[in-house]
Amino acid sequence: MNSAEKVHPPGNGGFWNDTGKTGITAWIFSTDHKRIGLLYFYSVLTFFLIAVVLGVLLRIELMAPGRTIMGPQTYNAVFTVHGVLMVFLFIIPGFQGSFGNLVMPIQIGARDVAFPRLNLFSWWLYMAGAAVIITSLFTGGGPPDTGWTFYVPFSERTGTNVSLAVFGVFIVGFSSIITGLNFVTTIHRLRAEGMTWGKLPLFVWSLYATAWVQILATPILGITLALIIAERFLGTGLFDPARGGDPLMYQHLFWIYSHPAVYIMILPGMGVISEIIPAFARKPIFGYKMIAFSSIAIAAAGSLVWGHHMFTSGMSDTAILVFSFLTFVVAIPSAIKVFNWVSTLYRGSISLEAPMLFALAFILLFSIGGLTGLILGAAATDIHVHDTQFVVGHFHYVIFGGAVFAFFGAMHYWLPKFYGRRYAEKPAVVAWVLMFVGFNITYFTMMVLGMKGMPRRYYDYLPEFAPLNLVSTIGSWILVSGLILMLVNLFRGLFKGEPIDRNPWGAATLEWTIPTPPPTENFEEEPVVTHGPYDFKKAGIT
Amino acid sequence: MTTGTSEQHIVSYGKLTAIWLALLALTALTVWVARHNVGIGHVWGSLAIAVIKGGLVIAFFMHMKYEGRLLRWLLFFALSVLAIFIGLTFFDVLYR
């Protein structure tokens, strides 16, 4: 630990009270990357919690065969809104908007991002898009019932309010592109003296790779969603075979964005894990260059594999072969990361505190998610489990067990730095245990149900699937109880917990060298970087 | 890192009009290709025309012809990614 210095309470110290404005205007008109980071954090967390409630309702409906608490139309709407909120309003903007904004400029030794006003504009766009999406639920024909993928021809014909919902997602997409542009420019142009590419923290590398995917892939989503609106209002026939259109073309366009979007969700999470593991194993990360390179490789290769979502759609056999092969290629850089994290742990001085527990859970759950992904990436096996509960289980292992557990790890790792206070350790560990156990009961059971043939996106099922569905629903209750305990403990700690000094974890990246909470301009003097981000010896950390 | 020249470049009205006419002619050609049954050549022809039209707009209307090397490379990179996306899609369209 470094110096024990006086710590200000939240709202009274560092960037918290360093503004001419007061009240909410000090936040919603601020161009400080830390304030924008917190704006994003609380926004995405709100949508996450709403989507969690919807997810629990889905599980309650599936607790027993037949109608339990909702009918088929409501069920279709609830799983659609659950997916739209989780994907477009929580996990895609989540890491970049919140922890990317909070931490990245400090980690590279900058005072702010390259375009602070554009940064604030991206949050406003995000909120505007979110408002449009929420409005779509209560206007027109009611909440969309297409699933978050908005597949044609159903999305063209349904009487629900698909047009407004996709317009909202369209706006949120612009926010994502702007954040990507801002981050690429910031990382290229605003690095401190001595902060070479070989000394960039791995979280920054992961944000950099993600930002390129946001810039290059998101416009395709925008165009695709605009085409749905054109189809609904103008009847252009682009996806209608009767008029020379091609329904599969929609699926291509949608997944050209939406598969790389999975890497927008998971790559920053991998960056978080690459920060937490060396700090809590007190050991330089194993294979720094390969982890950095694998972020770029995942972003590049992951952009070429979208066709594996379409193996049963009627796509050509040649395309199935090509996309199946490319899918296996992505496994290589993902495995590089996992092996390097495990190698970092080997003979490390491991401290099992909350952030590390989330990181370890990430490695296991993401590995299960990745390996079950190969079952879906291989055309022969995919045909058997396509559109079953297996896919739901696999996806949640990657995105919840992977990205969201990393998000929770980041909350425990970095939020105390910005609040100057920390949570209680014991309840954090209990919450982690509950979530880990509840998660596996909920989603592993889904994969078993999928292998047995239970399709996804139906509110009812055959009686033979009843026992495992009950188990999965009970698992979701354990998971949510852990989540509630985690949030109560975390936020109680941030506002009333024990004060911390500038480097509570003994990490070696730049954000831990500045006061807690960080001052508005981050650094009193421009830092000169002389050692790598995980070089504990040269950083003077024992 | 340099972004190259930053001075303003003024394109003459004559040149802009010529580009506009070329775009109109290429649009007419697209319609002609679409109305004649030339098999898969219809797709390649339409794509080739679209590339030429996009190139003209980017080079002259968006002034990329007068920009520095870095911006040109960035644009080339983005267009290459787009070409790869379209190319991979054709593994489906051509062999279905």
Query: How far, in Å, are A116, A253, A320, A516 from residue A327 at the CA level?
Result: 37, 18, 10, 44
- Number of domains comprising chain B: 1
Instruction: Give me the mean pLDDT over the A383-410 stretch.
Output: 97
**Is residue B65, in this structure, part of any structural domain at all?**
yes
Which backbone phi and psi does B86 adopt, to 5 degrees?
A: -65, -40
Q: How far is A270 from chain B (nearest CA, A)?
A: 24
* pLDDT > 90 fraction of chain B, expressed in percent and rounded: 32
**Is residue B82, in this structure, part of any structural domain at all?**
yes
Q: B2 and chain A: CB distance < 8 Å anywhere?
A: no
Selected for mutation to probe chain B from A253, A256, A259, A309 (highest B CB count within 10 Å) is A256
Range of A113's domain? 24-373
Q: State the pLDDT at residue B2.
A: 42
| Mean pLDDT over each residue of chain A, to the nearest integer | 94
- Number of domains comprising chain A: 1
* Contact assignment for B78 to A252 by CB distance below 8 Å: no
**Is residue A250, in this structure, part of any structural domain at all?**
yes
**Is residue B2, in this structure, part of any structural domain at all?**
no
Residues A45-89 have pLDDT tens digits of: 999 999 999 999 999 999 999 999 999 999 999 999 999 999 999
Model confidence band, residue A20 (pLDDT cutoffs 50, 70, 90): low
Q: State the pLDDT at residue B6.
A: 53
Residues A172-186 have pLDDT tens digits of: 999 999 999 999 999
The full length of chain A comes to 542
What would the DSSP string read from start to end of A416-437? HHHHSEE--HHHHHHHHHHHHH
What's the sign of the alpha-carbon dihedral A259, A261, A265, A271? positive
**Is residue B40, in this structure, part of any structural domain at all?**
yes
Range of B32's domain? 13-93
Residues A225-245 have pLDDT tens digits of: 999 999 999 989 999 888 888
Q: Which residues of A touch B81 (CB under 8 A)?
A: 216, 303
Q: State the pLDDT at residue B79.
A: 85
Question: A-side interface with B, Cβ within 8 Å?
Answer: 188-189, 215-216, 220, 246, 248-249, 252, 256, 303-304, 307, 310, 314-319, 322-323
Selected for mutation to probe chain A from B92, B93, B95, B96 (highest A CB count within 10 Å) is B92
Q: Is 0.90 exceeded by the ipTM?
A: no
**Is residue A224, in this structure, part of any structural domain at all?**
yes
Residues A105-129 have pLDDT tens digits of: 999 999 999 999 999 999 999 999 9
**CA dihedral in degrees (A364, A367, A368, A371; nearest 10)?**
-160
Of A216, A248, A315, the CB nearest to B81: A216
**Is residue B69, in this structure, part of any structural domain at all?**
yes
* Contact assignment for A322 to B88 by CB distance below 8 Å: yes
Which backbone phi and psi does A528 adopt, to 5 degrees?
A: -115, 120
How far is it, in rounded angstroms, from Cα B1 to Cα A52? 46
Are the C-beta atoms of residues A358 and A409 closer than 8 Å to each other? Answer: yes
* CA-based nearest residue to B27, from B44, B58, B52: B52
Are the C-beta atoms of residues A112 and A120 closer than 8 Å to each other? Answer: no
Model confidence at B1: pLDDT above 60: no
**Is residue A428, in this structure, part of any structural domain at all?**
no
**Both structure tokens of A314:** 């009627």
**Is residue A470, in this structure, part of any structural domain at all?**
no
In this prediction the pTM is: 0.91
Instruction: Give me the mean pLDDT over the A247-275 stretch.
Output: 95
Helix (H, G, I), strand (E, B) or coil at A113: coil
Residues A316-366 have pLDDT tens digits of: 999 999 999 999 999 999 999 999 999 999 999 999 999 999 999 999 999
Rounded to 10 deg, the angle between the B69-93 and A247-281 helix axes is 120
Model confidence at A9: pLDDT above 60: no
| Mean pLDDT over each residue of chain B, to the nearest integer | 85
Of A189, A252, A304, the CB nearest to B92: A252
Model confidence at B3: pLDDT above 70: no
Q: Which residues of A touch B84 (CB under 8 A)?
A: 304
Q: Which residue of A has its CA nearest to B84?
A: A304
Q: State the pLDDT at residue B70.
A: 86
**Both structure tokens of A43:** 């926004």
Q: How far is B8 from chain A (nearest CA, A)?
A: 23
What's the sign of the alpha-carbon dihedral A451, A382, A394, A162? negative
How far is it, in rounded angstroms, from Cα B96 to Cα B84? 19
Residues A493-528 have pLDDT tens digits of: 999 999 999 999 999 999 999 999 999 999 989 999
What's the sign of the alpha-carbon dihedral A277, A49, A334, A294? negative
- Strands A421-422, A498-499: parallel, antiparallel or unpaired by DSSP? antiparallel
Q: State the pLDDT at residue A13.
A: 77
Q: State the pLDDT at residue A402.
A: 96
Of A215, A252, A303, the CB nearest to B89: A252
Q: State the pLDDT at residue A542.
A: 72
Helix (H, G, I), strand (E, B) or coil at A119: helix
Model confidence band, residue B76 (pLDDT cutoffs 50, 70, 90): confident
CATH number of the structural domain spanning residue A85: 1.20.210.10
Q: How far is A72 from chain B (nearest CA, A)?
A: 34
Q: State the pLDDT at residue A250.
A: 95
